[in-house]
Chains A and B, each alone.
Chain A
């Protein structure tokens, strides 16, 4: 498993590159934009591909098998969306329009990954391992959903009041609602992952859940970026995307190692 052994150092190098490129003076250069676009796409392809491999590695009677399949389909949608963005950035060399065809794939991503993430959590909850019962298990999700409800007036309401085209409003709302909804099971997965400190299960669950948390926070921040024209946030959002994709790819890779 040499490929797995070099996955972590490569991931760290890419993360350092992401930080330098996003917060350095070269952020807007075409080379940086194209390189980061390729990194994001490759990470998503790796995450989706190894998700499918993990799905196949689970036995036909394993409950988790279907969760991995749906999860991987969601990641495939995300990779397709990212490939549309890469097409604009690399091949056509033009700024990305919003909304674009990519956003339909990103919308599909939520349709797959939200039920898959909930399934991951429910399976863990019913696994019989001492991961906490009832409130002790689900409280992180409740906190996220409560935060969403409290922030509706500052997140969803301005979207519908803004005079943006309906499709843009639809995607803005989707990213916020979808982001918070998927964030809820993801923070539960972070807590579950931390229960396995020192074990190889942690190397799968923590990167995947933390990675998705980064991506979803980026999606939520993206709205503020477009709505309030916060230029500085663009760099943070871009870095969070890169960090998130790298972590998710690494987690998916390690699921295979855990199962071998």
Chain B
């Protein structure tokens, strides 16, 4: 496990059934690299931007409906 951040683990739980563990991690790391933050620094305020970042890719592979459902789940993870 590359981080103890519970939010990241939740995001992985949402994405991994579709993208697989490796791609789910790689997608989050790509986002953190772009934002110049570490995995531990991801907080609920980053979630809408992360969801927006991966939605176009998800749409290609799982379609608009599923992609919107997944990204909305990710965006709302911090509110739970």
A-side residues, CB < 8 A to B, are 57-59, 61-64, 123-124, 127-130, 195-202, 204-205, 258-260
User: Main secondary structure on chain A at its contact with chain B?
Assistant: loop
Given known contacts A200-B17, A258-B66, A259-B66, A127 and B22 CB-to-CB distance under 8 angstroms: no
Contact of B62 among A61, A201, A202 (CB under 8 A): A201
Q: Assess the B20–A196 pair: CB atoms within 8 A.
A: yes
A12 nearest CB across to chain B (Å): 22
Chain B residue contacts of A64, Cβ below 8 A? 59-61, 63
Q: Assess the B59–A198 pair: CB atoms within 8 A.
A: no
Chain B CB within 10 Å, residue with most, of A63, A196, A204? A196
A220 nearest CB across to chain B (Å): 29
Query: What per-residue 1/0 map shows which CB atoms of B57-70 lie under 8 Å from chain A?
Result: 10111111110000
Q: Assess the A199–B60 pair: CB atoms within 8 A.
A: no
Q: Assess the A62–B18 pair: CB atoms within 8 A.
A: no
Asked if B37 is at the interface (CB within 8 A of a chain A CB), the reply is no
Please count how many residues in chain B sit with their CB below 8 Å of the partner chain's CB atoms. Answer: 25
Q: Would you list 6 pairs from A and B whose C-beta atoms are within 8 A, ordered by A residue?
A: A59-B64, A64-B63, A127-B61, A197-B20, A200-B17, A201-B18
Chain B residue contacts of A59, Cβ below 8 A? 59, 63-65
- Chain B, residue nearest A201 (CB): B61
Asked if B27 is at the interface (CB within 8 A of a chain A CB), the reply is yes
Asked if B6 is at the interface (CB within 8 A of a chain A CB), the reply is no
In Å, the complex CA distance between A260 and B53 comes to 22
In Å, the complex CA distance between A259 and B20 comes to 15
Q: Assess the A200–B18 pair: CB atoms within 8 A.
A: yes
Given known contacts A259-B62, A259-B63, A198 and B57 CB-to-CB distance under 8 angstroms: no
Chain A residue contacts of B49, Cβ below 8 A? none
Contact of A128 among B24, B29, B53, B64 (CB under 8 A): B53
B23 nearest CB across to chain A (Å): 5
Additional 15 contacts, C-beta under 8 A, given A59-B64, A196-B61, A197-B21: A58-B63, A58-B64, A62-B60, A124-B60, A127-B56, A130-B29, A130-B30, A195-B20, A195-B22, A196-B18, A198-B21, A199-B16, A199-B24, A201-B19, A201-B61
Q: Assess the B17–A62 pair: CB atoms within 8 A.
A: no
- Chain B, residue nearest A120 (CB): B60
Asked if B77 is at the interface (CB within 8 A of a chain A CB), the reply is no
Asked if B1 is at the interface (CB within 8 A of a chain A CB), the reply is no
Chain A residue contacts of B27, Cβ below 8 A? 129-130
In Å, the complex CA distance between A64 and B65 comes to 13
Chain A residue contacts of B21, Cβ below 8 A? 197-199
Q: Assess the A127–B23 pair: CB atoms within 8 A.
A: no
Q: Assess the B63–A199 pair: CB atoms within 8 A.
A: no
Query: What per-residue 1/0 map shows which CB atoms of B15-50 lie under 8 Å from chain A?
Result: 011111111101101100000000000000000000
- Chain A, residue nearest B68 (CB): A59
Q: Assess the B64–A130 pair: CB atoms within 8 A.
A: no
Chain B residue contacts of A201, Cβ below 8 A? 18-20, 23, 61-62
In Å, the complex CA distance between A196 and B64 comes to 19
